[in-house]
Structure 1
């Protein structure tokens, strides 16, 4: 069986599982961890920094999605096809064709959040480090 056919089978099964509230989270977790985990390990061995940024951003966004699920778990139970949409979003984040996590980093996270807070955070951390590791 070719890798493309196998991928379609896995995605099809994940889609069917995601339609049910009880198996949906399981499908999202399995699909959202296995392939990105393998690619993250490959990125560690690769010397390119672009894939490192993509996979680090993916894991931050994946963790944020799961945190929001935890906080608003009772509310998402009433959203029809929530896990199907979440599966689609997670796949958008990690698929090489879309590179969604990299796009979200470049268009939203860096210009809207990090660029404003970067100076304050880094100067605060440098100040903290100098106080903690002060040589007498």
Structure 2
């Protein structure tokens, strides 16, 4: 129980810092504060509440509107890219394995989503669930989504069809080399 309090104080200090920066911004003279001041004069609503309302509407749009797709892709891509680079640069092999596992699961998810997105888009809160799924896949604990899905589904599938897929790729690479040689011969 004693370990919980530092986390709360950290979150409190983060929110206090955001609040202080927002109040400082609202006191500055710029085009946004000018618009907020004009709106405050016309509506009688303080500009800090107008700003909170605008940010809330944008947040809801990002969660439930067309912006949700962008937000999910940023969550599922930007954060893992950063930590994958850090893992590459670190001598710890476990980090490499964790992020490689994430990218394999993310790839399978992306392929399945490509073919089903037209249907999934119509489900309410699809992007909220997608964001939660991606967060679970990259969570920093041993039973995160990437590890669970990889061990239960991806790995058994891969091991079952590995030799067949290897022969297909070998055949394709052989055909690609033959085609490249033919093109270079014809080019001469």
Alignment TM-score, normalising by the size of structure 1: 0.69
Alignment partners' CA distance in 1, 2:79 and 2:127: 18
C-alpha distance in structure 2 between counterparts of 1:2 and 1:45, whole Å: 28
Alignment partner of 1:44 is 2:82: no
Match of 1:101 among 146, 157, 160: 146
1:1-136 to structure 2, matched below 5 A, reads 2=10, 5=14, 16-17=60-61, 19-97=63-141, 98-110=143-155, 112-122=156-166, 124=167
Task: Indicate if the aligned counterparts of 1:18 and 1:84 stay in contact, CA closer than 8 A.
Answer: no
* 1:61 Cα deviation from its structure 2 partner: 2.3
- For residues 26-80 of structure 1, the C-alpha deviation after alignment (integer angstroms, 9 at most, x for no partner) is 1101111221111100111123333222212212322333333333332122201
Could you say which structure has the larger radius of gyration? 2
Give me the whole-angstrom Cα distance separating, in 2, the residues matched to 1:44 and 1:33: 16
Paired residue secondary structure (2:127): helix
Tell me by how many angstroms 1:117 deviates: 1.9
Q: CA RMSD in A?
A: 3.4
Over 3 Å counting, the alpha-carbon distance change for 1:49 and 1:103 in structure 2 is: farther
Point out the more displaced range, 77-86 or 50-59.
Answer: 50-59
Q: Distance in 2 between matches of 1:109 and 1:16?
A: 34
Greater relative contact order (CA < 8 Å, ≥ 6 in sequence): 1
Structure 2 stretches of 5 or more lacking a match? 1-8, 19-55, 178-188
Name the TM-score, length of structure 2 as normaliser. Answer: 0.52
What secondary structure sits across from 2:66 in the alignment? helix
SS of the residue 1:19 aligns to: helix
Q: What is the aligned residue count?
A: 124
Q: Evaluate the alpha carbon distance shift between residue 125 and residue 70 of structure 1 in structure 2; reply closer, same or farther with a 3 A threshold.
A: closer
Greater displacement, 33-42 / 71-80: 71-80
Change (3 A) 1:20 1:113: same
